[in-house]
Structure 1
C-alpha cells in the first residue's frame, strides 16, 4: 500500500480542532506520546525555525526527534530522528496496520490527516527509542493534535490574527488557544507578542503556576548580519553566549534565544557548548535561504502579513536592490497585506499558483490586487515556468508567499543542480553593507 498517498487522501476531511479522536487513537497505539520527553512550540511565525533549533541542540545529548509541518520537498521531512527522515516502509506498514477510522463515543469517527500523522510520528519516535522530541504545533495550540504530549517546556514564539477564522476572531481568543499548550508547573518561553495577548498568556501561566521567561527581557548585542550567517551575543540567567548561526534573517535572533532559554529550562539543562554547537548548524530550508548569487536568489516561506513585513525588512537590511518577487499564496491568506509589504522593496512581481489545487489563490484574482502596489505585474500559472522566467530575467529573485510554493521551487532547483544547468554558489557572499546589484 502507498501509505503516503493514503495519508494525503485524508486531507479531504479537513481540519478538526479537538483532542478526543487523537487521544483515542493514541490509546489504541498504547500511548506512544508518553514514551519520550518533549518541548512544545507554538506561534504564528517562527515556530518551525525554533523547533528546528531546539532539535539540533537536543541531539547533541539525546536520541532526538523532530516533528514539524508542513513539509517543503517531501512528506518524510516532517518526521525526523537524528537527521534520518521517516522511511516510506514505516509509513506503508503503519497505514496497512492501523485504520484511520476509530470508535469515538460509540460512533465511527474518521481521523483527519493531521490527527493520524501526529500519532504515526509519535509511534515512529517510540519505535526508534527517541529520548527527547521537539514538537511543532500544527494550528493554534489548545486543541491541536500535538497537545496530547506533556512537554518539559512550552514555547509561544509570536502571535497574529492568522487563522482567525478557525481559532477565533480576536487576538485575545487566539492567545487563549496558543496558551493552551502551557502545562501546570512547567516553564514557558514567551516571544514578543501584542500586549493584550501577553496579558492573556501570562494569566494562563499564573493560573497554571508555570514560570515564564520573556524573550524581550534578554537583549541580543553585537548583532552582525551577513549573507554568510548571523552572529550576536546574549546573556541569560544561566550564562553568556556568543552565538553564530548559519541561518539568515534578523528574526532568527529571537528564535534562537527562545531555543537557548528552553534548553536551559529543561529538568536537566543542556550545557552551553551543546547549545552553541546545535545553533550553528546549516541554514534552515525555506527561511531566508540562499540558493544562489550573481544574481541572488532567496527562498522564504513567509505566508502572512507579519512574516512578509519581516521579510521586507530583511531585504532592506541586506541591501538587496529591487528584486523580482516571485510569489503565490493560498486563498485563506491576507494577500492584500502580503502584496503591500513586498511592494516596499520591489516594483516588480511575478505571480504564480502553489501546487495546492483546492487552496491556491488564482493568479487572475491576485493580479487585481498586485496592480494596486506594483508597477510591473506578470502572471504565470505554472510554478516551473514562472521559475524559468525569473531565472532568465537575470535579476535578484525572492520566492515567497507560501511554503508550498517555496517547497516546489526547492525541488525544481534541486533538479536543475543535478542536471548541472544551474550551479549554486554560496561561498564568499557579500555583507549587507554592500549593495547587491
Structure 2
C-alpha cells in the first residue's frame, strides 16, 4: 500500500490546490465532480446533508450544527476547508478525523480507476469525492457540507440537502466570484435547490433580493434568521465560554445559551444555526433542547474547531483568529476594541489575492504590527504588506516567519497586553504547526 506521506504528496503536488496556488486552482465547471461521483457509485445519494455557504461564518456554523446533531445522538459527518494542521481535519465523523489508511485507500482506488477515465481533477474535486465516499461507507446519518468557494460551481454542489444555509455575503474572492455584492450573492444562491428550504443568517438590503428571487424561482421557502432570532447580552464566563440569550420574534426562546466558540460575531452564526435546527426538527429530526444547549456549549470540544477568537495564552493575553477579509476583520477589530489591554501587538500576514485596502482600512492604528508571511506560495511578502499597511497608518516591523513574529511579540509584550495573531487562515496554521 502507498504510504500516507506519498499520498499527501500526490494530492498537494499533482493536483491544483486553491489554498496554495489561488485562482489557478479554481474550476468553473462541475464536469469532473459529476464524473468522479459516477465513478464511485454516486455516494452523495446515500446520506442526508445540510449545505453551508457564505463569505464568513460558514465553518463555525457547520461545526455548531455538527455538534448539536452529535449531541442529539446522530452519527454526523463534517466536511470543511481549509485545514489548519492536518489534511484529515477536512473530513470528520463525530469529531474524529478520517484515518490515514482511508485517505490512502481512496487515492489508490482513484488512481486505479483513473487509468481508464483519464481525469485531471482539482484538489477540491478529489477531496470532496473522498469525503462523500467516506460518509457513505461509514453510514453517517447526516453530514454538514461546507462550500469550499462560492456555491454554484463548487464541487460540493451536487448534493440535495435537507436545508441550505447561507451565512452572509461580503466582498471576497472577487476575481472569481464577481466584484459586486450582488454577483457574489448570485454565486452563493447557486446552492438553493428546488423546494429545499434555505436559511440566510444575516439579512442585508444589498443582497436579500438576490436570494429571494432565486428562492421564488426554485419554489424554496426562505428564512432570514436574524429577522426571527435576536440575541441579547454576551458575557465571558470563568470556564472560558460566552453566554447569550436569544429571543424569537420578541419571545424569550433560548435563555443562557453558552458557547465555547468565542467572539461576539458568533451570535450572527448562532441565529442561522438555530433556524436551521428548527427546520430540521420540522423534517422529523429529533433534536431536543438539551442537545442544542450541549451542542453549543461543547462545539469546539465535539468537533475540534480551532482558530475562532481562540485564546492561546494569558499574561499577556494571546488570541488567534482566521478572519481574512474586510468583513471578518471588521468583527475582529470590534472584538479587540471590546477586550481590555494596555498595549496591542498585532502579528499580521495576508495572502496576495485579497483586497488589501479594504482589509487594512479596518485594522486598529494604535497597534504595534509585526508584519509576516505564512509558508505558502499565495502569501503576500511581508515587506510588501508592511509598505501597503503604512499607507493606512499601520506601522511596525517586518519579520520573516510567523513563529519568529510571535516570539518577537512575546518578547515585547507586558502581562497586561494583548497579542493578536491573524490576517489569514495560513498565519494561524503556521502558529499551530
Structure 1 and Structure 2 fold alike (TM over 0.5): yes
Aligned partners of 1:144 and 1:88: how far apart in 2? 25
Aligned to 1:428: none
Change (3 A) 1:275 1:117: same
Q: Select 1:356's aligned residue among 376, 389, 412.
A: 376
Aligned partners of 1:149 and 1:367: how far apart in 2? 43
Aligned to 2:245: 233
1:101 Cα shift?
A: 8.5
Asked if the contact 1:159/1:193 (under 8 Å) is kept, the reply is no
Aligned to 1:196: 206
Aligned to 1:400: 422
Asked if the contact 1:191/1:215 (under 8 Å) is kept, the reply is yes
Q: Secondary structure at the match of 1:195?
A: coil
1:375 Cα shift?
A: 5.7
Asked if the contact 1:370/1:377 (under 8 Å) is kept, the reply is no
1:108 Cα shift?
A: 4.2
1:229 Cα shift?
A: 2.2
User: Structure 1 residue 178 and structure 2 residue 188: aligned?
Assistant: yes
Asked if the contact 1:363/1:381 (under 8 Å) is kept, the reply is yes
Unaligned residue ranges in structure 2 (runs of 5+): 18-23
Aligned to 1:254: 268
Aligned length: 407
Aligned to 2:432: 410
User: Structure 1 residue 15 and structure 2 residue 26: aligned?
Assistant: yes
Aligned CA RMSD, in angstroms, stands at 2.0
Asked if the contact 1:101/1:111 (under 8 Å) is kept, the reply is no
Q: Select 2:336's aligned residue among 298, 302, 315.
A: 315
1:103 Cα shift?
A: 9.5
Aligned partners of 1:249 and 1:195: how far apart in 2? 25
Superposed CA deviations along residues 109-164 of structure 1, whole A, max 9, x for unmatched, are 41000000000011111121111001100000011000111100001101012011
Q: Select 2:362's aligned residue among 308, 323, 341.
A: 341
User: Structure 1 residue 79 and structure 2 residue 91: aligned?
Assistant: yes
Asked if the contact 2:229/2:271 (under 8 Å) is kept, the reply is no
Change (3 A) 1:321 1:142: farther
Q: Secondary structure at the match of 2:340?
A: coil
Unaligned residue ranges in structure 1 (runs of 5+): 412-437
Superposed CA deviations along residues 288-316 of structure 1, whole A, max 9, x for unmatched, are 00011110000001101111111001111
Asked if the contact 1:225/1:248 (under 8 Å) is kept, the reply is no
Aligned partners of 2:165 and 2:411: how far apart in 1? 43
- Deviating above 4 A after TM superposition, structure 1's stretches of 4 or more consecutive aligned residues are 100-104
Aligned partners of 2:309 and 2:357: how far apart in 1? 22
Aligned to 2:310: 289
User: Structure 1 residue 98 and structure 2 residue 119: aligned?
Assistant: no
Aligned partners of 1:286 and 1:232: how far apart in 2? 21
Q: Select 2:284's aligned residue among 253, 260, 268.
A: 268
